[in-house]
Amino acid sequence: MNLPGSRSVRGTLMVLIVLLGVTALAPAVLDLRRSLEDLRGAALMEQRNQVAAACLQVVNDFAFERGRTAVALFGADKASEETLAFIRERRAGAERGMERLSAALDGLSGVSGAETLRAWDAVLVLRAESDAAMALPFSARDPSLAGRWLLTAADLLAHLEFLLAELGRAPGADGLYERVCALRVAVVQFRNVVGRESMMVASVTAGVEKVDEAFMNRLLLLRGRSAQLWEQIRQEALLSGGAGFSTALENTRRAFFEGLRPLQESILLGGAHGTELPPPAAYTKESVRALDSIITSLDTVSEDADRVVRHNLATARRTAAGGLVGILAAAVLVAVSARVIARRITRPLRDIVERIDRLRDPGASLQLSGVRDEFTTVRHALDLLDHMLAARERDARALQEANRRLAELAETDELTGLANRRRLNAALAAEWARARRDARPLTLLMIDVDHFKRYNDALGHQAGDERLIDVGRAIRGLARRPGDVAARYGGEEYVLLLPDLPSSKALAHAEEVRQAVEALNLPHEGSPHARVTVSIGMATLTPCGESRAEDLVRLADDALYEAKRLGRNRVEAAPAGAAADCPPPVAGRDPA
């Protein structure tokens, strides 16, 4: 077959492949540029992370120096040699960290440490004055020195916290690194607040402070802040903390909440009633243990940040190398393609055209209107293929939508539109497994329409169905959280599955359901209450031991039976600890 204009196919294809090569090179160059920018961002992130490490060293050691120096300045006697040795040790560590921090800040762009260095200079000025004062009895000291020391130290720690937060917002940093840095800042803030709280209680053991109303108000403010930070740390740890941090955080919880806090309470009680207090050395030892555990937690967060930085830097390097390889590959592809086209593309393309023509009309010659070349024929064949693929895609979408509707109908109660038993069973199994894994409570409300048979007998099943729809709508409105599941259990029975809800809140929620149905004010002559009401059985379990999801259903069903036995239109809760191998839940308390 010899087509008019076919002599230009070879040249046309060669021009086309060159254009395609250029098109391939352009995004490869852009990808390389982006990867180099990512590499610079990862390198900057690594540099900022090193600065943060130096900043943390200053925070860790200076916070100890601040507290012990303040206690010594408030003390009536001269500072002991043990106290002075402790201060010197921590002071040396803070100075080494500040030297690292100052050197690292000199080579870091985009972050100003001028205010931090200014605050450090102010600390250095007060150190000499504090050292001289600690060698004097309390009566010979400047009475304003201790307050000035605390204010100056607080200013330095505040600037260090701000610097840490600023370092966590490195250009090019990913979400995980920013979360880890935010967690690191929260732990630093928690350590500083706990240090201030510990210092206040230490002043009681030293006889400097009295446990009066003003003292307790200041202490409670600090404790409220520490509780807020602790909860923030726990929540952030679920998103960004590693396994090592979880272990360190548990050690901190034991050292602080189970070790230091009870000792503080005994000191406060003794100070308030004038009884004998524990020796200051014992309290100092427990305080240092708790604060050191927080620093260990902080070290594990920093290790997580280091891992993220190293991973991002390695990834950026691999991406940049891949970009270079992509450019070389695109250039080689253009050269090889041009050679292949010159020798091997034109004839196979003509063979393809002939085969297309034979498949379309066997035995007939190629008949095309307009420009008669191989591209036109291939384009027509591809148009036909496009139509076939588009039709197939439409059919596939229709089938997918039909399957989705079928799956939705299979999990939805036809009358009320709530979840059916199939969907409820799946949700119960999933939430039970999740509650067991996280040691969180799971609540189930079993809800039954009171005297519903009388309603059906009096008004007919159609009216009964309408009431079931009304009740289901009210129950659905109280499944507010993403994990809540409102389902029809069968007949006039409904179920409300409430994950992560302790029994105290669940009981209030169940009462809200009962009131919502009663508030519909649907007449029911066969009921003693003259309106449609529901009885509710509530059960809450934290999965443990050999307990199963069926235990939760059984407990809720038993509680429902008890509610109906006691007169209906009421909520009854399953007794605590009714499931085997499970400790009884503590009423009114959320799990820690």
* 299-339 residue pLDDT tens: 887 777 778 778 878 887 888 888 788 778 777 777 777 66
Q: What is the mean pLDDT of residues 258-263?
A: 88
Q: How many domains does the chain have?
A: 3
Does the pLDDT of residue 364 top 50, yes or no? no
Q: What is the pLDDT of residue 586?
A: 42
Please report whether residue 366 resides in a domain. no
**Domain shared by 194 and 262, yes or no:** yes
Q: What is the mean pLDDT of residues 182-188?
A: 83
**Domain shared by 225 and 199, yes or no:** yes
Please report whether residue 415 resides in a domain. no
User: pLDDT-based confidence at 361, cuts 50/70/90?
Assistant: low
Give tens-digit pLDDT for 66-121: 877 877 777 667 777 888 888 888 888 888 888 888 887 776 766 677 888 888 88
Q: Which residue has the higher pLDDT, 108 or 3?
A: 108
**Domain shared by 185 and 208, yes or no:** yes
**Lowest-confidence range among 203-212, 373-382, 496-505?**
373-382
**Domain shared by 503 and 528, yes or no:** yes
User: pLDDT-based confidence at 589, cuts 50/70/90?
Assistant: very low
Does the pLDDT of residue 402 top 70, yes or no? no
**Domain shared by 132 and 111, yes or no:** yes
**Domain shared by 393 and 451, yes or no:** no
**Domain shared by 177 and 64, yes or no:** yes
In the chain, what are the helix, strand and coil shares in percent, each to the nearest 5?
A: 70, 5, 20
**Lowest-confidence range among 94-108, 123-137, 562-576?**
94-108
Cβ-based neighbours of 21, under 8 Å, separated by 6 or more: 330, 331, 333, 334, 337
Domain end: 279, 301, 323, which one? Answer: 323
For residue 552, give its domain range: 421-573
Taking the C-alpha atoms of residue 367 and residue 237, their distance in angstroms, rounded to an integer, is: 71
Q: What is the pLDDT of residue 4?
A: 45
Q: What is the CATH number of the domain that holds 291?
A: 1.20.1630
Please report whether residue 580 resides in a domain. no
Percent of the chain with pLDDT over 70: 82
**Domain shared by 528 and 549, yes or no:** yes
Please report whether residue 355 resides in a domain. no
Does the pLDDT of residue 479 top 80, yes or no? yes
**Domain shared by 395 and 460, yes or no:** no
Percent of the chain with pLDDT over 90: 26
Please report whether residue 242 resides in a domain. yes
Q: Which residue has the higher pLDDT, 172 or 326?
A: 326
**Domain shared by 443 and 396, yes or no:** no
**Domain shared by 50 and 149, yes or no:** yes
Please report whether residue 94 resides in a domain. yes
Q: Please enumerate, as own/partner, the contacts of 379-385 that have beta carbons within 8 Å and a separation of 24 or more.
A: 381/356
Taking the C-alpha atoms of residue 316 and residue 319, their distance in angstroms, rounded to an integer, is: 5
**Domain shared by 165 and 280, yes or no:** yes
Q: Among all chains, which residue has been given the structure tokens 């309390």?
A: 138
Domain end: 323, 344, 361, which one? Answer: 323
Q: Which residue has the higher pLDDT, 448 or 293?
A: 448
Instruction: Give the Å distances, CA to CA, from 484 to 511, 539, 588.
Output: 16, 15, 20
User: pLDDT-based confidence at 524, cuts 50/70/90?
Assistant: very high
Q: What is the CATH number of the domain that holds 518?
A: 3.30.70.270
Please report whether residue 362 resides in a domain. no
Cβ-based neighbours of 167, under 8 Å, separated by 6 or more: 48, 49, 51, 52, 55, 111, 181
Please report whether residue 210 resides in a domain. yes
